[in-house]
Structure 1
Amino acid sequence: MIERIDTGQRMSKIVKHNGVAYLCGQVGDGATVSDQTRDCLSRVEALLNKAGSAPDRILQAVIWLSDMADFAEMNEVWDAWVPEGHAPARACGEARLARPELKVEIIVTAAC
């Protein structure tokens, strides 16, 4: 069974299938990559909770930065947020994001 949560015409915020939650990409508010990453991870955590999951159940994260020069700054926030011993498989790359002010987008897959 496939369960779609917070579904709109274009996308669902969460899709669950076979005990796995797939979250849509999350961006955050703020002037710096640290601010945006913190806000983004707060949104990820809220969606994980809504899906019946949690940060320690993340299987994979894909992170897009608008500028790889922000990699260390983003990692500082990420490392403080990920529960010790529960780091997921992760990829990080540079991409042009949907709006020029965006600096980071995070896409998460987690066990429920």
Structure 2
Amino acid sequence: MSIERLHSGPRMSQAVIHGGIVHLAGQVGAPGEDAAAQTRAVLAQVDSLLAEAGTDKSRLLTATIWLADMADFGAMNLVWEEWIGGANAPTRATGEVRLATPDYKVEVIVTAALA
């Protein structure tokens, strides 16, 4: 089975496709924006990468969401629920972590089945 990597650099790839599954790297939003704005930006990046891989959010399998502060859980969830649309929700875990820079509030990692 082949492995396809999208947007690869010396440290990582933004997406890896293997065995009918696309695995996205952690996506972060615009530094300094609030959690809702960062979540919107992240999910737009997820949409774009999934489309490039040949699939979409209706085929999500898993999502891991990291928040710099769990106080942003509600704001992130409002954006997430609007984006996911109530159908085809993946398994999901959300946790609080220290992200790469204090300007990042949200990071999202997903896997999806290819269409």
Per-residue CA deviation, residues 1-32 of structure 1 (Å, 9 max, x unaligned), is 11111111100111001100000100011521
Q: Work out the number of aligned pairs and report it.
A: 112
**Residue identity (%):** 53
Tell me, what secondary structure is at the counterpart of 1:14?
A: strand
What root-mean-square deviation, in Å, do the aligned CA atoms of Structure 1 and Structure 2 show?
0.9
Runs in 1 of length 4+ with deviation above 4 angstroms? none
Residue ranges of structure 1 left out of the alignment (5+ in a row): none
1:1-112 correspondence runs (5 A) = 1-29=2-30, 31-112=33-114
Residue ranges of structure 2 left out of the alignment (5+ in a row): none
Question: What is the alpha-carbon distance in structure 2 between the residues aligned to residue 96 and residue 55 of structure 1?
Answer: 27
Question: What is the alpha-carbon distance in structure 2 between the residues aligned to residue 110 and residue 83 of structure 1?
Answer: 16
Per-residue CA deviation, residues 76-107 of structure 1 (Å, 9 max, x unaligned), is 00000003321000000000000111100000
Tell me, what secondary structure is at the counterpart of 1:81?
A: helix
Q: Is the 8 A contact 1:55 1:83 kept in 2?
A: no
Scaled by the length of structure 1, what TM-score is found?
A: 0.97
2:24 corresponds to which letter in structure 1? L
1:93 corresponds to which letter in structure 2? G
Scaled by the length of structure 2, what TM-score is found?
A: 0.94
